[in-house]
Amino acid sequence: MMLDLETMLPSGDALSRFGGVQVSTFGGIPGEQVYASVVRDRGTLRYASVDEVLEPSPYRKKPECPYFGACTGCQWQHIKYEHQLDLKRAIVREALDTAGIPSCVVTETLAAVDEYGYRNHARFTVGPAGRLGFVHKLTRRFVQVERCLLMHPWINQVLARLQGHCAETTQIAMRYGMNTGKWLLQPLLKNVDAGIATGQPNYCEALSGNTFRISASSFFQVNTQQAEQLIDLMRERLGMDGRGLLVDAYSGVGTFARVFSPMATRVLAVEESPNAVRDALANLRDVPNVELVRNRTELVLDSLVDRARAVILDPPRTGCHPATLQAILRRPPDRVLYVSCEPETLARDLKVLLRGPFRLEEVVPVDFFPHTRHVECLATLTREHGRQWSLESRQELILASKSPRRQEILKQLGLSFRVMAPGEEDDEGPLEAGSDPVVVAVERATSKAHQVAARLTQGIVIGADTVVVHDQELMGKPSTPEEARYFLGRLRGREHRVITGLAVVDAATGEEVTAFRRTRVFMRPYTDEEIGAYIASGEAWDKAGGYAIQDPRFRPVKGIKGCYLNVVGLPPCRLLGLLQSLGLHPVLDQAWSPPGNCPDCHRLVPADEGRKPR
């Protein structure tokens, strides 16, 4: 198919449209016209690969790597390096724009010292006959490689020695200290005589004059030269003069805590990974002003008594835990340095921090990964001491519902809230046949939240609406005994879906976020007499579908697949995410235990606090 490529996606593919369907195309550059073949079709999105370029971009070049395309580890070997830097800056700017953050703060991308041979870490798949290579991300086809241009020469030398001799395992991991000459090669190979030791539990690398022990499972930057450039940037932006408290959150093996320890009176390094903590203990043992705490970052920051002058955030790709951001807003430091390898989660977290007393000075894209779509960023925030703001006023929760079940769920979560019923809640109107149930539920929830928010000047308003769907028929709250009897009769002994729409509105700004949750419910074959008794009890009137899953006498539900509390009318697993996206990060009751088997709800359960710092 012939495609006109439009924009570059964060995945590194070029976006186009063909027959009304979006196409994500590997090997293209925006502005080009190409012939491409479909690699995978997912209905509303197709994945394709360029076969022939009809109108090439001025930024196109011949790939240096003979495996480009067959191996998808590199996405941009076909793009001139100077333009790769522009594309990475554009990806960061797009992420900030989407989050509503001015993208003018994004600087030019800091180029890599070396385009090739920069990676100190490789993980090879073992294919047929013990051959080493990589796997195509879409087709899952194995591609044997004799040399990877991104890898340090030492790794390629070892690759050549091991090629064809690794059938005893499924993967080979190599890590090399560019500044020390030390290495780690896992696993222990028993049937290979390649003249090189294997099975090391750790190795050493040096950064900025400091040597670090790194275990096989511990994170360490794959580009040593760029890591040193990043450290230089951070040193310039920390703004510390040897006094005060510096917090190194998500500290890993203790890299930043050690390097920047001369800039503070005291450094608090926080890490929860046992293996990383063991490395950090070895790396920090001779640094007297560094205290290492093994615990979750959000718990340590929340219990911190002394206010930090600066906080370094270097979280995993998923970004900061919401409670970490909340803790920073409670005791804002003078400066926050945020290191991120994922622009979208960086933008999400910056949006939260910028609701507090911070100004975003700049975001510097740093190219740790030439010829790939990945980009590292350093964001610098400074505290505006004269700025008037209140975390507490924004934290007031208002539930736009008189539902006792939704109120009980919020109470069990340990949340403080007040109730304000929307004026039209008792007269929601009938559900039209053929309507999209998700759209109906979300629109009704949004209407309720805005009705209440319009009567307030501040606070966070929660709206919710639940509908039952059976054979494309939408069921709301029954208005008559006959309708309740009809609903319960239709659902008896059958499967249906329960959809709860959620809306959270910031009354001060009008900003809204929405979500929904869907649960499959299987009803037992209850009798007509049981239906009659339940209706006569008066319990059927304010419930979608005319029933309550938790009713102790009727017990209409045989089983569910999904979130139990979604059927009750308020799924915490969706609600907490919406609150967090608006910068509200409530701490849940330590004793709360969600009923049912919803994995998302169970992930919300607070862990034991463990040790707290001074």
**DSSP string spanning 306-373?**
SPPSEEEE---TT---HHHHHHHHHS--SEEEEEES-HHHHHHHHHHHTTTTEEEEEEEEE-SSTTSS
Closest Cα to residue 565, out of 543, 544, 595? Answer: 595
Closest Cα to residue 90, out of 415, 365, 404? Answer: 365
At 257, give phi and psi (nearest 5°): -60, -40
For residues 541 and 484, the answer to whether their CB atoms sit within 8 Å is: yes
The dihedral through the CA atoms of 551, 553, 557, 558 has a sign that is positive
In whole angstroms, give the CA distance from residue 250 to residue 292: 11
In whole angstroms, give the CA distance from residue 159 to residue 124: 9
Catalytic hit among 465, 542, 589, 600: 465
Closest Cα to residue 189, out of 161, 220, 230? Answer: 161
In whole angstroms, give the CA distance from residue 32 to residue 529: 70
What is the distance between the terminal CA atoms of the chain, rounded to a whole angstrom?
Answer: 64
Question: Chain centroid to CA 276: how far?
Answer: 21
4 in active site? no
Question: Chain centroid to CA 512: how far?
Answer: 20
Neighbours of 383 (CB within 10 A): 16
* Residues tagged active-site: 465
